[in-house]
Protein backbone atom coordinates (compact mmCIF):
# COMPACT_ATOMS: atom_id res chain seq x y z
CA UNK A 1 0.00 0.00 0.00
CA UNK A 2 1.27 3.43 -0.97
CA UNK A 3 0.32 5.44 2.09
CA UNK A 4 -1.43 5.72 5.45
CA UNK A 5 -4.89 5.78 3.83
CA UNK A 6 -5.25 2.79 1.49
CA UNK A 7 -7.72 2.50 -1.35
CA UNK A 8 -9.51 -0.61 -2.53
CA UNK A 9 -7.36 -0.58 -5.65
CA UNK A 10 -4.29 -1.18 -3.47
CA UNK A 11 -5.74 -4.27 -1.78
CA UNK A 12 -5.53 -7.89 -3.05
CA UNK A 13 -9.24 -8.05 -3.73
CA UNK A 14 -9.24 -10.94 -6.17
CA UNK A 15 -7.09 -13.10 -3.91
CA UNK A 16 -9.27 -12.38 -0.87
CA UNK A 17 -12.61 -13.02 -2.55
CA UNK A 18 -11.43 -16.08 -4.48
CA UNK A 19 -9.98 -17.71 -1.36
CA UNK A 20 -13.09 -17.01 0.70
CA UNK A 21 -15.60 -18.21 -1.89
CA UNK A 22 -13.61 -21.30 -2.83
CA UNK A 23 -13.42 -22.31 0.83
CA UNK A 24 -17.16 -21.69 1.27
CA UNK A 25 -17.95 -23.95 -1.67
CA UNK A 26 -15.57 -26.59 -0.32
CA UNK A 27 -17.36 -26.58 3.06
CA UNK A 28 -20.80 -26.92 1.45
CA UNK A 29 -22.19 -23.44 2.16
CA UNK A 30 -25.55 -22.76 0.53
CA UNK A 31 -24.65 -19.07 0.33
CA UNK A 32 -21.51 -17.07 0.97
CA UNK A 33 -20.54 -13.45 0.51
CA UNK A 34 -17.40 -11.46 1.22
CA UNK A 35 -17.06 -7.70 1.74
CA UNK A 36 -13.79 -5.76 1.70
CA UNK A 37 -14.17 -2.15 2.81
CA UNK A 38 -12.18 1.03 3.31
CA UNK A 39 -14.07 3.71 5.27
CA UNK A 40 -12.61 7.11 6.10
CA UNK A 41 -14.57 9.14 8.65
CA UNK A 42 -13.57 12.69 9.59
CA UNK A 43 -14.96 15.19 12.07
CA UNK A 44 -13.96 18.80 12.66
CA UNK A 45 -15.39 21.03 15.42
CA UNK A 46 -14.87 24.75 16.08
CA UNK A 47 -16.07 26.96 18.92
CA UNK A 48 -16.05 30.71 18.39
CA UNK A 49 -13.88 30.22 15.27
CA UNK A 50 -11.18 28.29 17.15
CA UNK A 51 -10.57 24.59 16.55
CA UNK A 52 -12.05 22.53 19.38
CA UNK A 53 -11.30 19.06 18.06
CA UNK A 54 -10.58 16.95 15.00
CA UNK A 55 -10.64 13.26 14.15
CA UNK A 56 -9.62 11.29 11.06
CA UNK A 57 -10.40 7.58 11.34
CA UNK A 58 -9.75 4.91 8.72
CA UNK A 59 -11.26 1.43 8.95
CA UNK A 60 -10.12 -1.37 6.64
CA UNK A 61 -11.27 -4.95 6.91
CA UNK A 62 -12.93 -8.06 5.52
CA UNK A 63 -16.27 -9.58 6.53
CA UNK A 64 -17.63 -12.97 5.49
CA UNK A 65 -21.21 -14.19 5.89
CA UNK A 66 -22.35 -17.73 5.08
CA UNK A 67 -25.49 -19.81 5.17
CA UNK A 68 -24.42 -23.33 6.16
CA UNK A 69 -27.07 -25.94 6.81
CA UNK A 70 -29.99 -23.98 8.18
CA UNK A 71 -28.08 -21.19 9.95
CA UNK A 72 -26.14 -17.98 9.35
CA UNK A 73 -22.55 -17.45 10.38
CA UNK A 74 -20.40 -14.32 10.23
CA UNK A 75 -16.76 -13.54 10.89
CA UNK A 76 -14.50 -10.57 10.18
CA UNK A 77 -10.87 -9.48 10.38
CA UNK A 78 -8.54 -6.59 9.63
CA UNK A 79 -6.06 -8.99 8.00
CA UNK A 80 -6.04 -8.49 4.25
CA UNK A 81 -4.77 -11.68 2.62
CA UNK A 82 -6.07 -14.96 1.22
CA UNK A 83 -5.18 -17.15 4.19
CA UNK A 84 -7.10 -14.84 6.55
CA UNK A 85 -10.11 -14.93 4.20
CA UNK A 86 -10.14 -18.73 4.21
CA UNK A 87 -9.93 -18.66 7.99
CA UNK A 88 -12.93 -16.37 8.17
CA UNK A 89 -15.05 -18.90 6.31
CA UNK A 90 -14.02 -21.61 8.76
CA UNK A 91 -15.02 -19.36 11.67
CA UNK A 92 -18.34 -18.39 10.07
CA UNK A 93 -19.24 -22.02 9.37
CA UNK A 94 -18.36 -23.01 12.94
CA UNK A 95 -20.63 -20.26 14.27
CA UNK A 96 -23.45 -21.35 11.97
CA UNK A 97 -23.16 -24.89 13.38
CA UNK A 98 -23.37 -23.56 16.94
CA UNK A 99 -26.42 -21.48 16.06
CA UNK A 100 -28.10 -24.45 14.39
CA UNK A 101 -27.44 -26.68 17.40
CA UNK A 102 -29.03 -24.06 19.65
CA UNK A 103 -32.33 -24.58 17.84
CA UNK A 104 -32.62 -21.27 15.99
CA UNK A 105 -35.21 -21.03 13.24
CA UNK A 106 -33.94 -22.15 9.83
CA UNK A 107 -32.57 -19.32 7.71
CA UNK A 108 -33.60 -18.77 4.11
CA UNK A 109 -32.61 -15.88 1.88
CA UNK A 110 -34.91 -14.55 -0.82
CA UNK A 111 -33.40 -15.28 -4.25
CA UNK A 112 -31.40 -12.66 -6.11
CA UNK A 113 -30.04 -13.13 -9.63
CA UNK A 114 -26.32 -12.91 -10.27
CA UNK A 115 -25.32 -9.47 -11.52
CA UNK A 116 -21.83 -10.24 -12.80
CA UNK A 117 -19.05 -7.71 -12.30
CA UNK A 118 -19.84 -4.01 -11.98
CA UNK A 119 -18.35 -0.77 -10.67
CA UNK A 120 -20.32 2.23 -9.41
CA UNK A 121 -19.29 5.60 -8.04
CA UNK A 122 -21.64 8.22 -6.62
CA UNK A 123 -21.55 11.64 -8.31
CA UNK A 124 -19.28 14.18 -6.61
CA UNK A 125 -16.45 16.52 -7.62
CA UNK A 126 -14.25 16.87 -4.51
CA UNK A 127 -13.83 14.02 -2.06
CA UNK A 128 -14.46 15.84 1.24
CA UNK A 129 -12.07 13.55 3.13
CA UNK A 130 -9.11 14.64 0.97
CA UNK A 131 -9.63 18.40 1.36
CA UNK A 132 -6.70 19.76 3.42
CA UNK A 133 -7.53 20.39 7.07
CA UNK A 134 -6.34 24.01 6.75
CA UNK A 135 -8.90 24.66 4.01
CA UNK A 136 -11.72 23.15 6.05
CA UNK A 137 -10.76 25.13 9.16
CA UNK A 138 -10.46 28.35 7.16
CA UNK A 139 -13.95 28.02 5.69
CA UNK A 140 -15.72 27.11 8.95
CA UNK A 141 -13.71 29.79 10.76
CA UNK A 142 -14.74 32.47 8.27
CA UNK A 143 -18.38 31.46 8.58
CA UNK A 144 -18.12 31.51 12.37
CA UNK A 145 -16.49 34.96 12.49
CA UNK A 146 -19.17 36.28 10.17
CA UNK A 147 -21.88 35.23 12.64
CA UNK A 148 -19.90 36.40 15.67
CA UNK A 149 -19.60 39.86 14.13
CA UNK A 150 -23.39 40.24 14.04
CA UNK A 151 -25.08 42.13 16.90
CA UNK A 152 -26.55 39.87 19.56
CA UNK A 153 -24.62 36.69 18.65
CA UNK A 154 -22.55 35.62 21.68
CA UNK A 155 -21.17 32.24 20.66
CA UNK A 156 -20.93 30.09 17.54
CA UNK A 157 -20.18 26.40 17.18
CA UNK A 158 -19.36 24.83 13.83
CA UNK A 159 -18.75 21.29 12.65
CA UNK A 160 -18.04 19.31 9.52
CA UNK A 161 -18.60 15.56 9.25
CA UNK A 162 -17.26 13.87 6.11
CA UNK A 163 -17.16 10.20 5.08
CA UNK A 164 -15.75 8.32 2.09
CA UNK A 165 -16.85 4.69 1.80
CA UNK A 166 -15.37 2.09 -0.58
CA UNK A 167 -16.88 -1.38 -0.72
CA UNK A 168 -16.02 -4.54 -2.67
CA UNK A 169 -18.58 -7.37 -2.59
CA UNK A 170 -18.64 -10.86 -4.06
CA UNK A 171 -20.86 -13.92 -3.55
CA UNK A 172 -21.10 -17.52 -4.62
CA UNK A 173 -23.85 -16.67 -7.14
CA UNK A 174 -21.43 -14.67 -9.26
CA UNK A 175 -22.09 -11.04 -8.28
CA UNK A 176 -18.93 -8.94 -7.91
CA UNK A 177 -19.39 -5.23 -7.20
CA UNK A 178 -17.10 -2.32 -6.35
CA UNK A 179 -18.70 0.88 -5.10
CA UNK A 180 -17.56 4.25 -3.82
CA UNK A 181 -19.61 7.04 -2.29
CA UNK A 182 -19.08 10.13 -0.12
CA UNK A 183 -21.22 12.13 2.26
CA UNK A 184 -20.81 15.42 4.06
CA UNK A 185 -22.61 17.51 6.69
CA UNK A 186 -21.57 21.07 7.64
CA UNK A 187 -23.39 22.70 10.56
CA UNK A 188 -23.23 26.04 12.39
CA UNK A 189 -25.16 27.09 15.47
CA UNK A 190 -25.34 30.61 16.89
CA UNK A 191 -26.25 31.32 20.50
CA UNK A 192 -27.66 34.58 21.93
CA UNK A 193 -27.85 35.38 25.65
CA UNK A 194 -30.58 37.46 27.23
CA UNK A 195 -28.78 38.95 30.21
CA UNK A 196 -31.71 40.57 32.05
CA UNK A 197 -34.01 37.63 31.41
CA UNK A 198 -31.44 34.97 32.20
CA UNK A 199 -32.42 33.01 29.10
CA UNK A 200 -30.79 32.11 25.81
CA UNK A 201 -31.78 30.91 22.37
CA UNK A 202 -29.97 29.13 19.56
CA UNK A 203 -30.29 29.07 15.79
CA UNK A 204 -28.73 26.33 13.66
CA UNK A 205 -28.26 26.09 9.92
CA UNK A 206 -30.80 23.91 8.14
CA UNK A 207 -28.39 22.66 5.47
CA UNK A 208 -28.94 18.90 5.44
CA UNK A 209 -26.30 16.19 5.14
CA UNK A 210 -25.97 15.02 1.55
CA UNK A 211 -24.27 12.47 -0.64
CA UNK A 212 -22.13 15.16 -2.27
CA UNK A 213 -18.53 16.24 -2.15
CA UNK A 214 -16.87 19.36 -0.71
CA UNK A 215 -18.44 21.38 -3.53
CA UNK A 216 -21.56 21.37 -1.33
CA UNK A 217 -19.85 23.82 1.03
CA UNK A 218 -19.01 25.96 -1.97
CA UNK A 219 -22.68 26.45 -2.85
CA UNK A 220 -23.49 23.43 -5.01
CA UNK A 221 -26.75 22.21 -3.47
CA UNK A 222 -27.32 24.81 -0.74
CA UNK A 223 -27.27 28.61 -0.46
CA UNK A 224 -25.03 29.03 2.59
CA UNK A 225 -24.51 32.73 1.89
CA UNK A 226 -28.21 33.50 2.18
CA UNK A 227 -28.68 31.36 5.28
CA UNK A 228 -25.70 32.87 7.14
CA UNK A 229 -26.90 36.36 6.23
CA UNK A 230 -30.34 35.70 7.73
CA UNK A 231 -29.41 33.74 10.86
CA UNK A 232 -28.59 36.65 13.23
CA UNK A 233 -31.93 38.33 12.50
CA UNK A 234 -33.85 35.10 12.96
CA UNK A 235 -32.06 34.51 16.25
CA UNK A 236 -32.76 38.00 17.59
CA UNK A 237 -36.43 37.67 16.68
CA UNK A 238 -36.62 34.25 18.32
CA UNK A 239 -35.09 35.56 21.55
CA UNK A 240 -37.69 38.35 21.71
CA UNK A 241 -40.65 36.19 20.63
CA UNK A 242 -43.58 35.41 22.87
CA UNK A 243 -44.21 31.93 24.20
CA UNK A 244 -46.77 29.90 22.28
CA UNK A 245 -50.30 29.41 23.56
CA UNK A 246 -50.90 25.62 23.59
CA UNK A 247 -53.78 24.25 21.55
CA UNK A 248 -54.75 22.97 18.12
CA UNK A 249 -53.18 24.75 15.14
CA UNK A 250 -52.92 24.29 11.41
CA UNK A 251 -49.25 23.62 10.69
CA UNK A 252 -47.29 24.37 7.55
CA UNK A 253 -44.20 22.24 8.00
CA UNK A 254 -41.08 22.98 6.00
CA UNK A 255 -39.12 20.00 4.58
CA UNK A 256 -36.19 20.98 6.83
CA UNK A 257 -38.39 19.81 9.71
CA UNK A 258 -40.77 17.30 8.12
CA UNK A 259 -37.98 14.95 7.00
CA UNK A 260 -37.35 13.95 10.64
CA UNK A 261 -41.02 13.20 11.28
CA UNK A 262 -40.98 10.99 8.19
CA UNK A 263 -37.83 9.26 9.43
CA UNK A 264 -39.22 8.44 12.85
CA UNK A 265 -42.91 7.81 12.16
CA UNK A 266 -42.74 6.22 8.68
CA UNK A 267 -39.15 5.18 7.96
CA UNK A 268 -38.54 3.16 11.11
CA UNK A 269 -42.14 2.01 11.41
CA UNK A 270 -42.04 0.32 7.99
CA UNK A 271 -38.84 -1.66 8.46
CA UNK A 272 -40.29 -5.16 8.32
CA UNK A 273 -37.86 -6.67 10.80
CA UNK A 274 -39.12 -4.13 13.34
CA UNK A 275 -42.77 -4.80 12.42
CA UNK A 276 -42.14 -8.53 12.97
CA UNK A 277 -40.70 -7.87 16.43
CA UNK A 278 -36.95 -8.16 15.88
CA UNK A 279 -36.05 -4.75 17.35
CA UNK A 280 -38.08 -5.15 20.55
CA UNK A 281 -35.03 -5.29 22.82
CA UNK A 282 -33.45 -2.06 21.61
CA UNK A 283 -35.35 0.51 19.58
CA UNK A 284 -38.83 -0.94 19.74
CA UNK A 285 -41.21 -2.62 17.33
CA UNK A 286 -43.88 -1.00 15.12
CA UNK A 287 -47.59 -0.31 15.22
CA UNK A 288 -47.62 -1.00 11.44
CA UNK A 289 -47.74 -4.76 11.89
CA UNK A 290 -47.50 -7.17 8.98
CA UNK A 291 -51.13 -8.27 9.20
CA UNK A 292 -52.17 -4.71 8.25
CA UNK A 293 -50.34 -4.67 4.91
CA UNK A 294 -52.76 -3.38 2.30
CA UNK A 295 -55.37 -2.25 4.82
CA UNK A 296 -53.77 0.15 7.34
CA UNK A 297 -54.95 3.72 6.77
CA UNK A 298 -51.60 5.43 7.40
CA UNK A 299 -52.70 8.91 6.38
CA UNK A 300 -54.83 10.98 4.05
CA UNK A 301 -55.20 10.09 0.37
CA UNK A 302 -52.57 12.73 -0.41
CA UNK A 303 -49.88 10.60 1.24
CA UNK A 304 -47.58 8.70 -1.14
CA UNK A 305 -44.30 7.44 0.33
CA UNK A 306 -41.56 5.51 -1.46
CA UNK A 307 -38.39 3.76 -0.42
CA UNK A 308 -35.60 4.47 -2.90
CA UNK A 309 -31.94 3.47 -2.99
CA UNK A 310 -31.35 5.20 -6.33
CA UNK A 311 -32.10 8.87 -5.51
CA UNK A 312 -29.30 11.17 -6.74
CA UNK A 313 -27.23 12.48 -3.79
CA UNK A 314 -29.19 10.35 -1.31
CA UNK A 315 -27.33 9.24 1.79
CA UNK A 316 -28.64 5.68 1.41
CA UNK A 317 -28.11 5.61 -2.36
CA UNK A 318 -26.08 2.70 -3.77
CA UNK A 319 -26.03 0.51 -6.86
CA UNK A 320 -26.17 -2.72 -4.83
CA UNK A 321 -26.85 -3.33 -1.14
CA UNK A 322 -24.65 -5.39 1.18
CA UNK A 323 -26.34 -8.64 0.11
CA UNK A 324 -25.74 -8.04 -3.60
CA UNK A 325 -29.32 -6.91 -4.29
CA UNK A 326 -29.67 -4.36 -7.09
CA UNK A 327 -30.90 -0.97 -5.85
CA UNK A 328 -34.48 -0.09 -6.65
CA UNK A 329 -37.44 2.12 -5.71
CA UNK A 330 -40.64 0.76 -4.20
CA UNK A 331 -43.94 1.92 -2.72
CA UNK A 332 -44.46 2.01 1.04
CA UNK A 333 -47.63 4.12 1.33
CA UNK A 334 -49.91 4.69 -1.65
CA UNK A 335 -52.99 6.97 -1.43
CA UNK A 336 -52.60 6.89 2.35
CA UNK A 337 -52.61 3.07 2.68
CA UNK A 338 -49.68 0.91 3.81
CA UNK A 339 -48.66 -1.13 0.74
CA UNK A 340 -45.04 -2.11 1.34
CA UNK A 341 -42.13 -2.55 3.73
CA UNK A 342 -38.38 -2.23 3.64
CA UNK A 343 -36.78 -5.68 3.28
CA UNK A 344 -33.50 -7.53 3.31
CA UNK A 345 -33.17 -11.05 1.90
CA UNK A 346 -33.75 -12.95 5.14
CA UNK A 347 -36.80 -10.94 6.20
CA UNK A 348 -38.20 -11.04 2.65
CA UNK A 349 -38.02 -14.84 2.63
CA UNK A 350 -39.49 -15.16 6.11
CA UNK A 351 -42.47 -12.96 5.20
CA UNK A 352 -43.12 -14.65 1.87
CA UNK A 353 -41.83 -11.97 -0.53
CA UNK A 354 -40.30 -13.14 -3.79
CA UNK A 355 -37.34 -10.78 -3.52
CA UNK A 356 -35.65 -8.25 -1.24
CA UNK A 357 -35.91 -4.57 -2.15
CA UNK A 358 -32.28 -3.95 -1.27
CA UNK A 359 -32.29 -2.69 2.32
CA UNK A 360 -29.28 -4.53 3.80
CA UNK A 361 -26.31 -2.54 5.10
CA UNK A 362 -23.39 -2.92 7.48
CA UNK A 363 -21.67 0.21 8.76
CA UNK A 364 -18.32 -1.57 9.01
CA UNK A 365 -16.56 -4.53 7.40
CA UNK A 366 -16.43 -5.98 10.90
CA UNK A 367 -20.25 -5.89 11.26
CA UNK A 368 -22.86 -8.25 9.81
CA UNK A 369 -25.34 -6.67 7.36
CA UNK A 370 -28.75 -5.96 8.89
CA UNK A 371 -31.92 -4.47 7.49
CA UNK A 372 -31.48 -0.70 7.23
CA UNK A 373 -33.53 2.16 5.91
CA UNK A 374 -33.72 3.21 2.26
CA UNK A 375 -34.18 6.86 1.30
CA UNK A 376 -37.81 7.09 2.46
CA UNK A 377 -39.56 10.07 0.88
CA UNK A 378 -42.95 11.77 0.66
CA UNK A 379 -44.06 12.71 -2.86
CA UNK A 380 -44.66 16.37 -3.65
CA UNK A 381 -47.78 17.92 -5.15
CA UNK A 382 -46.49 18.18 -8.72
CA UNK A 383 -44.84 20.84 -10.84
CA UNK A 384 -47.93 23.06 -10.57
CA UNK A 385 -48.40 22.45 -6.85
CA UNK A 386 -48.51 25.33 -4.35
CA UNK A 387 -45.49 27.19 -3.03
CA UNK A 388 -44.85 27.38 0.71
CA UNK A 389 -46.22 30.94 0.67
CA UNK A 390 -49.42 29.71 -0.97
CA UNK A 391 -49.82 27.00 1.68
CA UNK A 392 -49.41 29.67 4.37
CA UNK A 393 -51.96 31.88 2.62
CA UNK A 394 -54.57 29.15 3.13
CA UNK A 395 -54.18 29.12 6.93
CA UNK A 396 -56.26 31.31 9.23
CA UNK A 397 -54.59 30.43 12.55
CA UNK A 398 -51.44 28.37 12.44
CA UNK A 399 -47.67 27.98 12.70
CA UNK A 400 -44.98 27.61 10.05
CA UNK A 401 -42.32 25.18 11.31
CA UNK A 402 -38.73 25.34 10.00
CA UNK A 403 -35.67 23.23 10.86
CA UNK A 404 -35.30 20.19 13.07
CA UNK A 405 -34.21 20.11 16.68
CA UNK A 406 -35.38 17.62 19.32
CA UNK A 407 -37.79 14.73 18.97
CA UNK A 408 -39.41 11.99 20.99
CA UNK A 409 -41.33 8.93 19.79
CA UNK A 410 -42.53 5.79 21.53
CA UNK A 411 -41.18 2.30 20.98
CA UNK A 412 -43.91 1.42 18.47
CA UNK A 413 -43.44 4.61 16.43
CA UNK A 414 -46.98 5.74 17.18
CA UNK A 415 -46.97 8.62 19.72
CA UNK A 416 -44.53 11.47 19.13
CA UNK A 417 -43.61 15.10 19.62
CA UNK A 418 -41.16 17.24 17.62
CA UNK A 419 -39.69 20.70 18.01
CA UNK A 420 -37.76 22.81 15.49
CA UNK A 421 -35.42 25.74 14.85
CA UNK A 422 -37.98 28.43 14.00
CA UNK A 423 -41.73 28.78 14.49
CA UNK A 424 -43.56 31.55 12.68
CA UNK A 425 -47.07 32.52 13.71
CA UNK A 426 -49.62 32.55 10.88
CA UNK A 427 -52.65 34.81 11.19
CA UNK A 428 -55.19 35.17 8.37
CA UNK A 429 -52.77 33.81 5.80
CA UNK A 430 -49.78 35.94 6.79
CA UNK A 431 -46.62 35.48 8.86
CA UNK A 432 -46.80 37.82 11.87
CA UNK A 433 -43.58 36.93 13.71
CA UNK A 434 -41.86 34.12 15.58
CA UNK A 435 -43.04 32.07 18.54
CA UNK A 436 -41.02 30.29 21.22
CA UNK A 437 -41.32 27.04 23.18
CA UNK A 438 -43.22 25.16 20.44
CA UNK A 439 -43.58 21.41 20.02
CA UNK A 440 -46.17 19.58 17.94
CA UNK A 441 -47.55 16.33 19.30
CA UNK A 442 -49.70 13.60 17.73
CA UNK A 443 -50.13 9.94 16.92
CA UNK A 444 -48.66 8.81 13.63
CA UNK A 445 -51.92 7.90 11.88
CA UNK A 446 -53.73 10.97 13.25
CA UNK A 447 -50.92 13.25 12.10
CA UNK A 448 -50.68 11.86 8.57
CA UNK A 449 -54.47 11.70 8.42
CA UNK A 450 -54.45 15.47 9.00
CA UNK A 451 -52.35 16.03 5.84
CA UNK A 452 -54.43 18.61 3.98
CA UNK A 453 -52.17 19.87 1.19
CA UNK A 454 -48.77 19.15 -0.35
CA UNK A 455 -46.38 21.77 -1.62
CA UNK A 456 -45.33 21.59 -5.23
CA UNK A 457 -42.07 20.41 -6.73
CA UNK A 458 -40.46 23.80 -6.04
CA UNK A 459 -40.73 23.18 -2.29
CA UNK A 460 -39.19 19.69 -2.38
CA UNK A 461 -35.94 19.07 -0.47
CA UNK A 462 -33.81 15.98 0.16
CA UNK A 463 -32.76 16.16 3.81
CA UNK A 464 -31.71 13.43 6.25
CA UNK A 465 -29.32 12.21 8.95
CA UNK A 466 -25.80 10.81 9.14
CA UNK A 467 -26.35 9.00 12.44
CA UNK A 468 -29.39 6.69 12.34
CA UNK A 469 -28.82 3.99 14.94
CA UNK A 470 -30.09 0.42 15.00
CA UNK A 471 -29.14 -3.11 16.00
CA UNK A 472 -27.26 -4.90 18.76
CA UNK A 473 -24.29 -4.43 18.58
CA UNK A 474 -25.27 -0.96 17.46
CA UNK A 475 -24.72 0.21 13.90
CA UNK A 476 -24.99 3.70 12.41
CA UNK A 477 -26.27 4.46 8.92
CA UNK A 478 -26.85 7.59 6.84
CA UNK A 479 -30.24 8.06 5.21
CA UNK A 480 -32.05 10.78 3.27
CA UNK A 481 -35.72 11.75 3.22
CA UNK A 482 -37.20 13.91 0.50
CA UNK A 483 -40.40 15.85 1.06
CA UNK A 484 -42.18 19.10 0.14
CA UNK A 485 -43.63 21.70 2.46
CA UNK A 486 -46.96 20.35 3.68
CA UNK A 487 -50.09 21.57 5.46
CA UNK A 488 -51.52 19.62 8.41
CA UNK A 489 -54.86 20.61 9.88
CA UNK A 490 -55.52 21.00 13.62
CA UNK A 491 -52.44 19.40 15.17
CA UNK A 492 -51.89 19.62 18.91
CA UNK A 493 -49.20 22.13 19.91
CA UNK A 494 -47.52 22.04 23.32
CA UNK A 495 -45.72 24.80 25.19
CA UNK A 496 -42.39 23.14 26.04
CA UNK A 497 -41.64 25.65 28.82
CA UNK A 498 -44.95 24.90 30.48
CA UNK A 499 -44.53 21.14 29.97
CA UNK A 500 -41.17 21.30 31.73
CA UNK A 501 -42.77 22.83 34.82
CA UNK A 502 -40.77 26.05 34.60
Q: What is the pLDDT of residue 394?
A: 97
What is the SS3 assignment for 145?
A: helix
Whether 386 and 254 map to the same domain: the answer is yes
Q: What is the pLDDT of residue 500?
A: 73
Query: Residue range 421-447: average pLDDT?
Result: 98
Q: What is the pLDDT of residue 499?
A: 80
Other CB atoms within 10 A of residue 204 CB: 18
- Among 240, 275, 301, identify where a domain stops: 240
Whether 252 and 285 map to the same domain: the answer is yes
Least confident of 96-110, 129-143, 145-159: 96-110
- Asked if residue 2 is part of any domain, the answer here is no
Q: Does the pLDDT of residue 433 top 50, yes or no?
A: yes
Kindly indicate the confidence band of residue 257, based on its pLDDT and cuts at 50, 70 and 90.
very high
pLDDT digits (tens, 9 = 90+) for 22-59: 999 999 999 999 999 999 999 999 999 999 999 999 99
Whether 102 and 176 map to the same domain: the answer is yes
- Asked if residue 22 is part of any domain, the answer here is yes
pLDDT digits (tens, 9 = 90+) for 61-119: 999 999 999 999 999 999 999 999 999 999 999 999 998 888 778 999 999 999 999 99
Per this entry, what is the length of the chain?
A: 502
- Among 240, 262, 293, identify where a domain stops: 240
Query: Residue range 441-458: average pLDDT?
Result: 98
Q: What is the pLDDT of residue 198?
A: 74
In three-state form (DSSP H/G/I as H, E/B as E, the rest C), the secondary structure along 154-169 is CEEEEEEEEEEEEEEE
Kindly indicate the confidence band of residue 498, based on its pLDDT and cuts at 50, 70 and 90.
confident
- Asked if residue 1 is part of any domain, the answer here is no
CA 423 vs CA 115, 251, 336, 443: distances in Å? 49, 10, 27, 21
- Asked if residue 230 is part of any domain, the answer here is yes
Query: Residue range 133-162: average pLDDT?
Result: 98
Q: What is the pLDDT of residue 104?
A: 77
Q: Does the pLDDT of residue 455 top 50, yes or no?
A: yes
Element (H, E) at 171: strand 155-171
Query: Residue range 155-165: average pLDDT?
Result: 98
pLDDT digits (tens, 9 = 90+) for 295-314: 999 999 999 999 999 999 99
Q: What is the pLDDT of residue 457?
A: 98
Q: How many structural domains is the chain composed of?
A: 2
- Asked if residue 482 is part of any domain, the answer here is yes
- Domain carrying residue 455: 243-499
Kindly indicate the confidence band of residue 502, based on its pLDDT and cuts at 50, 70 and 90.
low
- Asked if residue 93 is part of any domain, the answer here is yes
Percent of the chain with pLDDT over 70: 98
Query: Residue range 354-377: average pLDDT?
Result: 97
Element (H, E) at 28: none
CB 483 within 8 A of CB 460: yes
In 205-343, beta strands by DSSP E: 242-243, 247-253, 305-308, 329-334, 337-338
Q: Does the pLDDT of residue 338 top 60, yes or no?
A: yes
Query: Residue range 411-437: average pLDDT?
Result: 97
Whether 279 and 231 map to the same domain: the answer is no
Q: What is the pLDDT of residue 171?
A: 98
CATH number at residue 135: 3.30.2290.10
Q: Does the pLDDT of residue 3 top 70, yes or no?
A: no
Whether 72 and 175 map to the same domain: the answer is yes
Q: Does the pLDDT of residue 441 top 60, yes or no?
A: yes
Residue 195 burial by CB count (10 A; 0-12/13-18/19+): exposed, middle or buried?
exposed
- Sequence-separated (6 or more) residues with CB below 8 Å from residue 337: 294, 295, 296, 297, 298
Whether 232 and 217 map to the same domain: the answer is yes
Kindly indicate the confidence band of residue 282, based on its pLDDT and cuts at 50, 70 and 90.
confident
Whether 209 and 295 map to the same domain: the answer is no
Q: Does the pLDDT of residue 167 top 50, yes or no?
A: yes
> Can you tell me the distance from the alpha carbon of 98 to that of 94, in angstroms, rounded to the nearest whole number?
6
In three-state form (DSSP H/G/I as H, E/B as E, the rest C), the secondary structure along 280-302 is CCCCCCCCCCHHHCCCCECCCCC
Query: Residue range 452-477: average pLDDT?
Result: 96
Q: What is the pLDDT of residue 1?
A: 43
Whether 165 and 267 map to the same domain: the answer is no
Q: What is the pLDDT of residue 285?
A: 94
CB 32 within 8 A of CB 85: no
Query: Residue range 345-371: average pLDDT?
Result: 97
Q: Does the pLDDT of residue 2 top 60, yes or no?
A: no
Query: Residue range 247-273: average pLDDT?
Result: 98
How many helices and strands in the chain, by DSSP H and E? 10, 23
Whether 217 and 290 map to the same domain: the answer is no
Q: Does the pLDDT of residue 446 top 50, yes or no?
A: yes
Whether 465 and 376 map to the same domain: the answer is yes
- Asked if residue 3 is part of any domain, the answer here is no
Whether 412 and 461 map to the same domain: the answer is yes
CB 109 within 8 A of CB 31: yes
What is the pTM for the complete model shown?
Answer: 0.96
* DSSP bridge pairs for 398: 250, 426
- Among 222, 240, 258, identify where a domain stops: 240
- Asked if residue 454 is part of any domain, the answer here is yes
Whether 319 and 446 map to the same domain: the answer is yes
What is the SS3 assignment for 429?
A: coil
Amino acid sequence: MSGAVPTLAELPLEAIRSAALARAAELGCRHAEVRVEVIRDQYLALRDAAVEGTSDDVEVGVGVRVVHGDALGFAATVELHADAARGLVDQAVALAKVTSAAGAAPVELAPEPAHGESTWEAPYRRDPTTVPIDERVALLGAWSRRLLAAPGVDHVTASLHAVAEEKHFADLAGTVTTQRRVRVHPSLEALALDGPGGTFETMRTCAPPVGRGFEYLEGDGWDFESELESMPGWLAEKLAARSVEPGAYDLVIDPTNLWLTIHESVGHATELDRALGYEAAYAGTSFATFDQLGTLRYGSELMDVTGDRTTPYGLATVAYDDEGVAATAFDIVRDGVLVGYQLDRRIAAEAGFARSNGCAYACSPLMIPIQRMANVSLAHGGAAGPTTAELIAGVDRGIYVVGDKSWSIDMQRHNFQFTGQRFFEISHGRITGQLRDVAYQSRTTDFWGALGALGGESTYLLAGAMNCGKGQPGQVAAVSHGCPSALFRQVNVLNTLGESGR
